[in-house]
Every structure is written in structure tokens, then in C-alpha cells.
Structure 1
Amino acid sequence: MKREYRRLSRRTQQLLEAPEGINIDFKREVQAVRSADLVAFANSPQGGTLLIGIDEYTSPDGVQRGRVVGCDVDDRARLLLVNKATECIPNIDLRIYTENLSQARPVLRVEIPSGNLKPYCTHGGEYRIRTDGRNRALLPEELLAIYMDREGEQFLSRFRDAVFQLEHQVENVNYSLSSGMLSVSQHLEDLDDQLRHTLHRIEQLTDSNKKRSRNLLQALRESQRSILQLEQVVVPKRGAVSSSLLEDIEHKLGMLLDLVDSDAEISDNSEGFRD
């Protein structure tokens, strides 16, 4: 941004056309600027401008106006303004422009924006505000209103930050929950596949056992019939000993058939339960 002008800037020309007011103050030299002048503009809603190197006079229409007389614009003058600004509490930001350099009567234009850390005061604790053409002390109720506004803005700022942080944390939690649920769902699907595979194996084993049981039962029944036929042939010829032996074999074979029938019935019942 341009900070030096060979002539008067358009803004300075416009300010000189108007009398001192709520946003403009004329100073003859840098030493005439006080910290209270800076504080008054920083506490004002719109801030203000100091024109240094301007002498006041009364125009024919009776209005106080300013004319250019020039002032010191060297580093010492600038440092003096900066020091006055840093003495204020809190420190005040300044924008200093040097103008009218080609006319041997340079002036300083000092822009003081409305501060974001109101209320401002001098190092001696003086609270001022700019009104129509002058600076005055801030009233207690005005100070209270400024403090309330500042605290309200800070509270809203902190509240917005807290809400943002909370929303960010909720998003993280939702993401974690979604990821966790996806993992659980995958584990459940894997478990379901394992269960179906196991049931299929059990059904295969049951069918195989049932088939073996039926084959064994069939073989035993055929053996029983063969023994009965053998008994009909042998008993009349061999007598009591052979008959007793055959009866014993037949009895044991019958017990074995009962056991096999029982196993086959259990297998059938199990299959019916699964269906």
C-alpha cells in the first residue's frame, strides 16, 4: 500500500474541505498529539483520522477549517506517534502516511481504526471517546456497555469454536462407529458362513452314519434269517446242545438288532428335528 504522496491525497483534500468533527482532528505539529487523542478514536465506532501539519482558522462563514502549514515528517516524528500508540492499553494500531512532499510543506495523515479490543485507555487510565469535534471521557454506563459488548462477542466466538470442535468430534465418533459396525458386520457374516459349513458337514456325517446303520441292520437281519433257516435244518439232527448254542446266537443277534434299531431311530428323529 502506498504510504508517501508528492501532493495531497484525495482523501486528505476531502477531509480539509470539512470542519473538525467526529472522525477528523487537526494538529499543528506532532508534539501536539496526545495518547488520549488516539484512545478517543480507537474507542469510537468508526475510528478517525489525525491530520498533522494543519493549522486551524475560521472561515468567512464562521466555520473552523484547516489549512496546510507543514510539519516534521522524519523518523523521529513517526517514532513519537508509534510510542504514544504503544503506551495505550491495549496498544493501538496506526497507519501513517506522508503527503505533500513536493511542496516543502509535508503533512502526516494518521489513520486510527476502530479498535477490536475496546475499551482503550491511556497509560494513566484515562478512557476517552470522540464526539462532535472534541474528545470526552467515557461515562460509566458507556464503559459497561462496551465491556458487555466485548464479552458477548468473545463468548459467541468461544461458543462457535466449541460447537465447531464438538461437531468435529461427533463426525470422528460417527466415523469410528461406522467403521466398527462394518467390522462387526463382516465378522458376523464370516461366523454365519462357518456355521452353515459346519451344519452341512454334520448333515453329511449324519446321512453317512444313518446309511451305515441301515446297511448293518440289513446285514444283521439277513444273518438272523440265515440262522433261523440253519436252526430248522440242524436242530432235528444235532440234538439239545446244538439247539442251545443256536438259541444263544439268535438271542445275542436279536439284542444287536435292537441296538441298531435304536440308533437308526435316533438318527431319524435328529433329522426330523433339523427339518
Structure 2
Amino acid sequence: MLALPEGLNVDFKREVQAVRSADLVAFANAPLGGTLLIGIDEYTTTDGVQRGRVVGCEVDDKARLTLINKSTGCIPNVEVQLFTENLAASKPILRIEIPSGTRKPYCTQRGEYAIRTDGRNRAMLPEELLAIFMEREGDLFLSRFRKAVQQLEVQLGSVNHSLSEGMLGVSEHLYDLDQQLQRTLSRIEQLTDSNKKRSRNLMQALRQSQDGIVQLENSIAPVINDQGQHLLQDIEHKLGMLLDLLDSDSNGNH
């Protein structure tokens, strides 16, 4: 990096105090991030090319804290990694790695949006800011949409599980009801005429049960299996037989 001039991804600073928040923001907003080398003096070669010369800088905790405060003062905070280099040559320098940010766009506390270009920082154009905002909002929308879909799938799975358990319980109750009707039908056929005359309350109860079965069938028809539907139809048929039997006997005895 020292053998090359300052560029898109590298910037030289003489001392820590020369680093501005805008320098950190510019690299964080850049597509590839960048590196700040502190303790480097800039000079121009005889052929007119800019180069960096190591002169060293303070690398103590105070210098590091100063840089951290500058990075946390950005909006949002800029992530930085600090490294000490060239210790063996007694001219230590600081290398600051600034990755391309994941929360673009970044700005200083004064609301300055900057981006790194070839060897310098420049203010971001309105269309650049708009593009970043649109991309960020699009990513946020997709993230929320995927999360909502996942939650919906989980909820549907729970509903299907509950529905399956509920249908199993309904089927068991329907089977018990079918068996009870079969026993009742056998007993009704054995009743004497006098007993059948006193079966008006039974007839009313049976008619109410028949209406309830029809409503139940209409409610669960879309989700119940074929076996359950056949069982419901069989129960309706047996209820009809009971009503016909009681009704005909009742009419015949009037």
C-alpha cells in the first residue's frame, strides 16, 4: 500500500488527529470499504507520483480511544478494526480497516454523507443516496416477508395438526353415536304400542339430533375424510329410520 499512491481503498494520514469522521464514513459507504494508514507522510517523487513515507505516530490507548470515538460518533456507528504495524522499526503506525458497511448510508454527526472515490472523499449525490435507501428498504421488506411466510407456515402446520386431532375426536364421537343409534333402533322395534305412544319426547329429541347432524355435516364437510362423511350419512339414515318408525306407530295408534 505504501508503494502505491492514495486511491479508492487507501488513505494516508500523518497523525491520529488528522482523521475525520468523514474519512470513516466515506470508506463505510464505499462498495469495498478501505484502509487508513496513520503515521504516514505523503511526498511526491521526481516523476510526480505521490507516495507514502513511514514517520510513525502515537499508538497508545489514547490514540485508539480517539479513533473509536470518531467511529461511534458516525450515524450509524462505523465498524473499524485497529492494528499496530512496524513496531520492530521503532516507528509504529496504525492501520485502520473499515469494511463496507451493512447499514448504508453512513453520515457524520453533522449530516455529511460522503463516499470514497479515486484518492479523495466526495459528497454523495442525491440519486446515490436514493439508490441506497431503496436497496436497504427492499432488503428489509424481503426479510420481513420471508419471516411472515415462515410464521404463517408454522401457524398453518399447527392448525392442520389441531384440525387432524379434532377430526379424530369427531370421528370417535360419531362412531359412538352410530353405535348408540343402532342399539336404540333395536330397542324401539321391541317396544309395545303403549310405550311407543309415550315416545313423543324421544321423537322431538331425535328430530333435534337430526338437525344437528345436518349442520355438523355442512360445517366439517370440507375437511373431514371420506370415512367420516360416510359415517355421518349413516347416522342421518338411522335417525330417519327411528323417526319414521316412531311417527308411523304414533299415527297408527291415533
- Does the TM-score normalized on the shorter chain lie above 0.5? yes
Runs of 4 or more consecutive aligned structure 1 residues displaced over 6 Å after TM superposition? none
Which consecutive unaligned segments of at least 5 residues does structure 1 have?
1-14, 210-265, 271-275
Q: Which of the numbers 63, 81, 87 marks the counterpart of 2:67?
A: 81
Would the alpha carbon gap of residues 190 and 66 (structure 1) be closer, same or farther in structure 2, given more than 3 Å must change? same
Deviations 1:157-208 (A, max 9, x none): 11111112222211111111111111111111222222234445556x47xx
Query: What is the CA–CA distance in structure 1 between the aligned matches of 2:182 and 2:3, rounded to whole Å?
Result: 94
Which residue of the partner structure matches residue 30 of structure 1?
16
Separation (CA, whole Å) in 1 of partners of 2:187 and 2:53: 107
2:43 maps to a residue whose letter is: Y
Question: Which residue of the other structure, out of 188, 204, 218, is the alignment partner of 2:174?
Answer: 188
Alignment of 1:160 onto 2:146: yes
Paired residue type of 1:28: R
Matched, 1:116 2:102: yes
SS in 2 for 1:55: strand
Residue 105, structure 1, aligned to residue 74, structure 2: no
- The residue that corresponds to 1:125 in the other structure is 111
How far 1:121 sits from its partner (Å)?
0.9
Alignment correspondent of 1:246: none
Quick one: which amino acid aligns to residue 19 of structure 1?
A: P
Instruction: Tell me the distance in 2 between the aligned counterparts of 1:84 and 1:94.
Output: 10
Question: Which of these residues, 178, 181, 197, is aligned with residue 164 of structure 2?
Answer: 178
Residue 67 of structure 1 aligns with which residue?
53
179-188 vs 128-137, which moves further: 179-188
Q: If the length of structure 1 is used for normalisation, what is the TM-score?
A: 0.66
Counterparts of 1:21-60 in structure 2, within 5 Å, are 21-59=7-45
User: Structure 2 counterpart of 1:68, which letter?
Assistant: V
Count of residue pairs brought into register by the alignment? 196
Question: Could you say what secondary structure the match of 2:157 adopts?
Answer: helix
Q: TM-score with structure 2 length normalisation?
A: 0.71
What secondary structure does 2:169 align onto? helix
- C-alpha separation in 2, matches of 1:156 and 1:69: 49
Offset at 1:30? 0.6
Q: Secondary structure at the match of 1:67?
A: strand
The one-letter amino acid of 2:157's match is E
Which AA in structure 1 matches 2:65?
L
Larger radius of gyration: 1
Q: Select the residue among 119, 131, 143 that pairs with 2:129.
A: 143
One-letter amino acid of the counterpart of residue 35, structure 1: S
Instruction: Report how far residue 133 of structure 1 moved.
Output: 1.0
Between structures 1 and 2, the one with greater helix share: 1
RMSD: 2.2
Quick one: which amino acid aligns to residue 49 of structure 1? T
> Sequence identity, in percent?
70
Q: 1:183 to 1:56 in 2, by over 3 A?
A: same
Distance (Å, rounded) in 1 between the aligned partners of 2:149 and 2:71: 36
Aligned in 2, Cα 1:201/1:86: closer, same or farther, shift over 3 Å? same
Q: Which amino acid aligns with 2:22?
A: A
Where do 5+ consecutive residues of structure 2 fail to align? 193-244, 250-254
Letter in 1 for 2:11: D
Deviation at 1:135, TM superposition (A): 0.3
